[in-house]
Structure 1
Amino acid sequence: MSASSPVPHGSANTLVTELTRPAAGVVLLVVEGEVDTLTAPALGEALTGLVATDPESATVAVDLSGVGFLASSGLAALIHAAHRAGAQGRALHLVGGSRAVTRPLEVTGSDRLFTLHADLSALLGEGATG
C-alpha cells in the first residue's frame, strides 16, 4: 500500500505524505516537508488514515525524519492521532526527527504520548514482532 498526497500551497509550503508497509504488521506514514498552519490539515488527514489502518493490531508509526519544521498546529495533529491510537489500545510510534521536531514534543511534554525511535531500523526491530 503506497499513497502519496502532496499539498500544493507553493513550493515552500509543500508537505508530502506516503503510507507504506515496510514490514509485516507495521504501517508507516512517511512525512516530508514543513508542518505549519497551511500543511497541518493534510498531516491530520494522513494521520487519520494511518490510525484507521486495519488490523488494529498493526504497529502504526510516523517517520518525521524528513520534516524540518513542526508548528503547534502539526503538534496538535500528532497529539490528536496519539489519542485516537490510544483509544484503540495501541501506541503511535514516531521515527526520527530533527531537533526542530523533537524539541516541541519535549517542551510540551507530549513526547510521553508516543513511542520514540531514533530511526526506522529501531522501529522495525521492535515493531516487526508485535
Structure 2
Amino acid sequence: MEVPRVFDTIPSTTGDGDAAQSIDTVLTRPAPGTALLTVCGEIDTVTAPHLEAALHSLLDTDDATLVADLDGVTFLASSGLAVLIQAAHRAERSRRKLRLVASGRQVRRPLAITGTDQLFELHEDRASAGLPGPA
C-alpha cells in the first residue's frame, strides 16, 4: 500500500467563528487501480481552493476508480459544490466517474437541490463505493 499523501490544513473563517475550523484532505491508494481522497471539515470560500487542489491530485492519478470520501465534511457551501462539479466534468473527460461517499445531509442536500447529484456515483459508505476493508 502506498504511503498516504497528506495536504496541509487551511483555517476557515466561516461557520461558528471558531478559527480552528479547517479542512483536511488525505490522498491514498487503498487498492490497485483505486485512488481515495478523504476530506474532513468545512468547505467554504476560504477552503474551496484547498479542496480543488486535492481533487486535482486525485484526478491526476492514472487510477480507474476515483473516490472522494466526504463523510467528514460538516458544511458544503456553493463554492465547494462548484469545485466538485468541475472535478466531475474533468473525470468525465478522462472517461472516469467520480464516486462520492456521502451519507450526511450537509453534502447530499446541496447536491440534490441543484440536481448535480447526477454527475456523481453517490454512495452511503466506502464499501458500497467499492473500497476494500474497514473505513
Q: 1:36 aligns with which of 29, 44, 54?
A: 44
Q: TM-score, normalised by structure 1?
A: 0.89
Q: Deviations over 1:36-76 (max 9, x none)?
A: 11100000000011111014xx2001000000100000000
Query: How many angstroms does 1:31 deviate by?
Result: 0.1
Residue matched to 2:76: 70
Q: TM-score, normalised by structure 2?
A: 0.86
Contact kept in structure 2, 1:96 and 1:120, CA below 8 Å? no
Contact kept in structure 2, 1:82 and 1:114, CA below 8 Å? yes
Q: Is the helix fraction higher in 1 or 2?
A: 1
Q: 2:53 aligns with which of 36, 45, 54?
A: 45
Q: State how far apart, in whole Å, the 2-side matches of 1:115 and 1:39 are.
A: 23
Unaligned runs of 5+ in 1: none
Q: 1:111 aligns with which of 117, 120, 128?
A: 117
Q: State how far apart, in whole Å, the 2-side matches of 1:106 and 1:8 are.
A: 27
Residue matched to 1:17: 25
Q: SS where residue 96 of structure 2 aligns?
A: coil
Q: State how far apart, in whole Å, the 2-side matches of 1:117 and 1:72 are.
A: 21
In the comparison of the two structures, how many residue pairs are matched?
123
Q: State how far apart, in whole Å, the 2-side matches of 1:71 and 1:30 are.
A: 18
